[in-house]
Amino acid sequence: MTTAPHEVCVSDNLMHFLALSDTDKRLLAELEQSPRSVARGHMLWEAADTPHTLYTLRCGWAYSMHKSESGEEQVLDVFIPGDLMGIRELTFPAHSTDVVMLTEGVVCPFPAERLLDIFQQSSSLSLAIHAAAARQQAIISERLVNILRHDARARIAHFVLELYFRLRRVDPAVERDFLVPLSQGDFSKLLGMTKVHVSRTLSEMESQNLLRKTRKALQIQDVDRLLAISSFDPMKLTDRLNPALTRGLPTACWE
């Protein structure tokens, strides 16, 4: 059966880094007091906007996109339920990307300065939010290294595994047949390939019983072979934190 993550709160994401106290959970719940339903294609912000507002993504998918002067589009981030959106660009005076909803969903907007209150009240949350931003950057960096070093089949295998492990992290019930609202055009913008090349490679991988992509879903048929093809290492996206930073903080859930 094709699976999708259920509705996810931001605390479900951050609790992977550190154990959250009741105060921490209350502070995070305050960020999500104003949920808002948004339609597919809704733009949350545009490049050059001042990052006055950040968002948690409670359900649905979104992505960040960079547009060149010639109009060429490149997808950078893919956001899934539980993600904090905007934290990588928080300290800059302007956004460098557009963020658009891939599906209908629910977002929780909050003023960016609200994070300053959280940083003053909770060292645990300060570290967990920084870890979430660093993890988002690590995902992009790993994908870039994959694109620069590997062929089309390995690029797709790496990205599919990235999605699978990320979705499993926020919802362990997600199986190897899961909803993915990304078109072949989106794959091309993410992986530096043409749509024709993406289509041909997906067909080849299906014939090899590696994976199957339908319009709205992905089925992983042989995870071990995908790992071998892509050299994907889930531990590079670990939730474990530098122990030098966690002394005296609540026990992490992975310990």
The answer to whether residue 242 scores a pLDDT higher than 80 is yes
Q: List phi, psi (to 5°) of 100.
A: -130, 140
Share of the chain above pLDDT 70, in %: 95
Mean pLDDT to the nearest integer, 217-222: 96
The pLDDT value recorded for residue 246 is 86
User: 202-221: buried (b, 16+ CB within 10 Å) or exposed (e) per residue?
Assistant: beebeeeebbebeeeebbbe
- CATH tag, 10-246: 2.60.120.10
Q: List phi, psi (to 5°) of 87.
A: -70, -25
Residue 7 confidence class, pLDDT cut points 50, 70, 90: confident
The pLDDT value recorded for residue 255 is 47
Q: Can you tell me the distance from the alpha carbon of 85 to that of 107, in angstroms, rounded to the nearest whole number?
A: 10
- Each domain of the chain, given as residue ranges in start order, spans 10-246
Mean pLDDT score of the chain: 91
Contact 100, 65 (CB under 8 A): yes
Give, as one character, the DSSP assignment of residue 252. P
CA-to-CA dists, residue 43 to 55, 64, 66, 104, 223, angstroms? 12, 10, 13, 11, 34
Mean pLDDT to the nearest integer, 150-179: 93
Q: Can you tell me the distance from the alpha carbon of 178 to that of 5, in angstroms, rounded to the nearest whole number?
A: 9
163: left (phi over 0), alpha (psi -120 to 50) or beta: alpha
Q: Mind listing the pLDDT tens digit for each residue in 32-59?
A: 999 999 999 999 999 999 999 999 999 9
Mean pLDDT to the nearest integer, 164-186: 92
The pLDDT value recorded for residue 247 is 81
The label of the residue with tokens 């909770």 reads 122
The answer to whether residue 251 scores a pLDDT higher than 70 is no
Q: Can you tell me the distance from the alpha carbon of 250 to that of 144, in angstroms, rounded to the nearest whole number?
A: 34
The answer to whether residue 157 scores a pLDDT higher than 50 is yes
Residue 72 confidence class, pLDDT cut points 50, 70, 90: confident
The answer to whether residue 200 scores a pLDDT higher than 90 is yes
Total-model pTM: 0.91
The answer to whether residue 70 scores a pLDDT higher than 90 is no
The answer to whether residue 5 scores a pLDDT higher than 80 is no
Cβ of 247: how many Cβ atoms within 10 Å? 6
Residues pairing with 79 in the sheet:
62
Instruction: Count the residues in the chain.
Output: 255
User: 159-196: buried (b, 16+ CB within 10 Å) or exposed (e) per residue?
Assistant: bbbbbbebbbbbbeebeeebbbbbebebbbbbbebeee
Mean pLDDT to the nearest integer, 180-198: 94
The pLDDT value recorded for residue 186 is 94
Nearest to 80 by CA among 23, 3, 157: 3
- Strand ranges of the sheet holding 217-220, from the earlier edge strand across to the other edge: 177-179, 217-220, 211-213
The answer to whether residue 18 scores a pLDDT higher than 50 is yes
The pLDDT value recorded for residue 250 is 66
Q: Mind listing the pLDDT tens digit for each residue in 98-142?
A: 999 999 999 999 999 999 999 999 999 999 999 999 999 999 999
Q: Can you tell me the distance from the alpha carbon of 187 to that of 70, in angstroms, rounded to the nearest whole number?
A: 20
